Amino acid sequence: MSSLSETAHGPGAHPPVLRHHFESLLNQKESSLLGMWVFIAQEILFFGGMLTAYTIYRNLYYEGFAAGSHHLDVTLGTVNTAVLICSSLTMALGVHAAALGKRKMTVLFLLLTIALGSVFLGIKVVEYADKFHHHLVPGPGFSAESLRDAHGQPVLDGSDTARHAQMFFALYFSLTGLHALHMIIGIPIIAWMARAASQGRFGPVYYTPVEITGLYWHFVDIVWIFLFPLLYLIPHHA
């Protein structure tokens, strides 16, 4: 741990994890956190463009959106919400363990987070397969025949409601796809952190990479907290 600082500045000059262009570890850590929060601010607007499209089209095409939403499996959506919240807890506990220098606990919680994230993606695959099976993927093969309107009647292909429901599924796949992509990117990063933690690279003085990975993972959880009611729970009335 101390060989770098000894060669550069003599014994005990500063911890080896401190980069030279930072004044102190605090300065370094706050810079890293600020960088991550700026990235998250950008991510909010990244999803925000699609959420704006969702807001506009849901108000213009309410019946089609309600018909599309009612096809989604609320049980699977609820289970996935719970799975993702569990993974946020294990992530928070992983960061906590890293801050206390508990190496084995850090690795354990990070691996649990990966496992829960994988369960979420697995359930998502089951849901996507159902949409393909029912021809609900937007495009030339789209069919609204499996959808039901507010009166329980089938939605006829070629109707306005069918076209509007196709817009719902376009936004459903865009939003959940972008969300899933964030998780697919997040899981290898958490695995990388688990490996570094197992090598003893983190402790009370320096665990910023784990904390920043946690920020990313919690942000992805927050996105889902909004996507779940917006996509799965559109009421037929109103």
Point out which residues bind another protein (CB under 8 A).
15, 23-27, 29-30, 33-34, 37-38, 40-42, 44-45, 48-49, 51-52, 55-57, 59-61, 74, 78, 81-82, 85-86, 88-89, 91-93, 96, 99-101, 204-205, 211, 214-215, 218-219, 221-222, 225-226, 228-230, 233, 235, 237-238
DSSP single-letter state for residue 237: -
Closest CA to 177 of 223, 113, 111, 115: 223
Rounded distance between C-alpha atoms, residue 165 and residue 67, angstroms:
7
CB of 229 to another protein, least distance (A): 4
Q: Cβ of residue 96: shortest distance to another protein, in angstroms? A: 7
Q: How far apart are CA 62 and CA 197, in angstroms?
A: 49
Least distance (Å) between residue 132 CB and another protein:
26
Nearer to another protein, 170 or 222 (CB): 222
Q: How far is the CB of 203 from another protein (least distance, A)?
A: 10
Spatial contact of 223 and 179, defined as CB atoms under 8 Å apart: yes
- Minimum distance of another protein from residue 24's CB (angstroms): 5
Output DSSP code: residue 235: -
**Comparison of 109 and 136: residue with beta carbon closer to another protein:** 109
Q: Which is nearer to another protein, 77 or 194 (CB)?
A: 77
Quote the CA–CA distance of 144 and 192 in Å, as a whole number.
Answer: 43
Q: What is the CA radius of gyration of the chain?
A: 23
168 near 64, Cβ under 8 Å? yes
Of the candidates 218, 212, 187, the residue with the CA atom closest to the CA atom of residue 114:
187
- Which residue lies nearer to another protein by CB, 191 or 222? 222
Measured from the CB atom, the residue of 10 and 204 that comes closer to another protein is 204
